[in-house]
Structure 1
Amino acid sequence: MTTPTPGRPVRGSATGSPLMAALDLFGRRWSLRVVWELHEGALGFRALRRRCGDMSSSVLRQRLVELIEARLVHQTPEGHYALTPLGRQARTALSPLVDWSVAWAAELTEHAVEETPDLR
């Protein structure tokens, strides 16, 4: 599997538009989680794996390779993984989605209480 990049065909787009390439990259299992976990600073492989719920090491390695090829993550001289400036921009771009998800969860919780049938 190759790393999705703009200008090359990706899942859902024969043209590889930048948005479709980004959606393909972030749609891969664990990619967003890796970016999310690195937003507070660099982590070693084992620490990152623990932060990601002990995901399989082979999948983490593959995601790191893809994120490095996409220039969202880089490896520090100490061997840790960190977001690049582009990776930090991606994390910042996700902030509105985080805000929306909190509002969505609150809405669902509020309506779940209202709509719960009385089973007495």
Structure 2
Amino acid sequence: MAVRGSDSGRPIMRLLDVLGQRWVLRILWELRAGPLSFRALQAACTAISPAVLNDRLKLLRGHDLVALQPDGYALTARAHQLVPLILQMITLADGWAAAGDWPNEGP
């Protein structure tokens, strides 16, 4: 199945398309410690509108990354697999920033 920016249909491109949508990584990050209600998640993701949060939660639920439980929205087992990868990206970004090697914008 083709996704934005790729007609290859490769699963990695689909995952990158989902994760690359605005607020998705932030939502996953905020849910890493446990379930949050809609209001608590909106407060944690400062500046996100309720409509956008609702759209992103619908997207994440559709991809089995977030589930609605009695105590709020929570990461699924599939999403918990992403948390170590996000932590690795943070480590990489922090290393680039500390070394002054952060890539410049553009080519």
Q: TM-score, normalised by structure 2?
A: 0.88
Q: Does 1:34 align with 2:27?
A: yes
Q: Does 1:59 align with 2:52?
A: yes
- Show the counterpart of 1:44: 37
CA distance in 1: counterparts of 2:6 and 2:39, whole angstroms: 35
* Greater mean alpha carbon deviation, residues 11-20 or residues 31-40: 11-20
- Show the counterpart of 2:15: 22
Larger radius of gyration: 1
Q: Does 1:86 align with 2:78?
A: yes
Q: Which runs of 4+ in 1 moved over 3 A?
A: none
What is the count of residue pairs matched by the alignment?
101
**Structure 1: gaps spanning 5 or more residues:** 1-7, 110-120
Cα root mean square deviation, aligned: 1.3
CA distance in 2: counterparts of 1:72 and 1:91, whole angstroms: 11
**Structure 2: gaps spanning 5 or more residues:** 102-107
Aligned residues with identical type, % of pairs? 41
Offset, 1:15: 3.2
